């Protein structure tokens, strides 16, 4: 199975879901799942230090991560596309005619988004402590949800 996580910049939510799932399938010796992630916004961004630090607390190293962007060709190669928010799901449908599932839908059966830090804290750059707290909470949420995701997709 080829699974693609999609968010906006591919430097926070979809990247975290990718690396958490890779970590989980590696630790549990699960075969047959190829995992990747991509962003809908074709603008280069660096992974925030707060994201790198938070993932390191789970022994997940994203230092070699390179942004990938959504393309029609990439989407067509996937068996399952997982959108991190309703906005990503809508964009995939409208721009590419692709049906995707929401992350929370697959894990918990609820059609809700995982908001980006800028959606929760528009002033996140001036309020780095609050941003770091939110980033940690999202990463913890995704990390802890990964077993449910695996259970529901296999």
- For 78, the token pair is 């996937």
Region 134-154 average pLDDT: 97
CA pair distance 40, 144, nearest whole angstrom? 25
Residue 8 banded pLDDT, cuts 50, 70, 90: very high
pLDDT in tens, 66-115: 999 999 999 999 999 999 999 999 999 999 999 999 999 999 999 999 99
| Residue 138: Cβ-neighbour burial (10 angstroms; 0-12, 13-18, 19+) | buried
* Number of alpha helices (DSSP H) and beta strands (DSSP E) in the chain: 7, 4
Q: Which residue has the higher pLDDT, 42 or 57?
A: 57
Output the pLDDT for position 59: 98
What is the full DSSP assignment across 7-37? ESSSSSHHHHHHHHHHHHHHHTT--S-EEEE
Delineate the domains of the chain, giving CATH numbers in brackets: 2-153 (3.40.50.2300)
């Amino acid at each position: 199975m080829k699974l693609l996580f999609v968010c906006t910049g591919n430097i926070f939510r979809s990247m975290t879901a990718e690396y958490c799932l890779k970590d989980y399938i590696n630790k549990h010796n699960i075969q047959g799942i190829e995992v990747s992630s991509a962003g809908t916004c074709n603008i280069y961004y660096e992974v925030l230090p707060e994201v790198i630090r938070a993932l390191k607390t789970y022994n997940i190293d994203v230092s070699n991560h390179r942004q990938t962007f959504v393309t029609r060709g990439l989407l067509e190669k996937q068996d399952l596309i997982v959108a991190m928010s309703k906005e990503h799901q809508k964009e995939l449908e409208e721009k590419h005619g692709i049906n995707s599932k929401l992350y929370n839908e697959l894990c918990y059966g609820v059609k809700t988004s995982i908001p980006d830090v800028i959606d929760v804290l528009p002033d996140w750059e001036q309020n780095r402590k609050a941003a770091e707290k939110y980033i940690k909470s999202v990463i913890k949420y995704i990390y802890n949800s990964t077993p449910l995701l695996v259970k529901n997709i296999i």
